[in-house]
Amino acid sequence: MEVKIGVQHAPREIVLESGQSAEEVERAVADALSGKAQLLSLSDDKGRKVLIPADRIAYVELGEPAQRRVGFGAL
C-alpha cells in the first residue's frame, strides 16, 4: 500500500510502498501520536525502514497499492 507522510518543517513528503496492511500502519501511527512510541517506524517493500519522530508528523495518507504498469503507452 502507498503511504504518504508529511513532516513538519520539511519541504517534501515521504512516500513509500509498504507491504504492511492499512490496519498495521494505522496502529503504528496511532501509537506514535498517542505517545506510546517516540518514533513512527514503517518498512517499505524493499526492506528499508523509515523512522520519523512522532512529534514531527504533520499528516499520514494511506492509499491503495500501486498497480504495476507495463509498456510505454500513456493511459
Q: What is the pLDDT along the chain (75 residues), one digit of tens a residue?
A: 899 999 999 999 999 999 888 899 999 999 999 999 999 999 998 889 999 999 999 999 998 765 666 667 655
Residue 67 within any structural domain of the chain = no
Cα–chain center distance at 74: 27
Cα-based distances in Å from 27 to 11, 14, 32, 45, 68? 26, 18, 9, 18, 27
- pLDDT for 67 equals 63
- pLDDT for 4 equals 95
Is the four-CA dihedral 22, 28, 30, 33 of positive or negative sign?
A: negative
48: containing domain: 2-62
Q: How far apart are CA 17 and CA 63, in angstroms?
A: 9
Is pTM beyond 0.85? Reply is no
Cα-based distances in Å from 5 to 13, 69, 72? 6, 24, 29
Number of separate domains in the chain: 1
Residue 70 within any structural domain of the chain = no
Residue 57 within any structural domain of the chain = yes
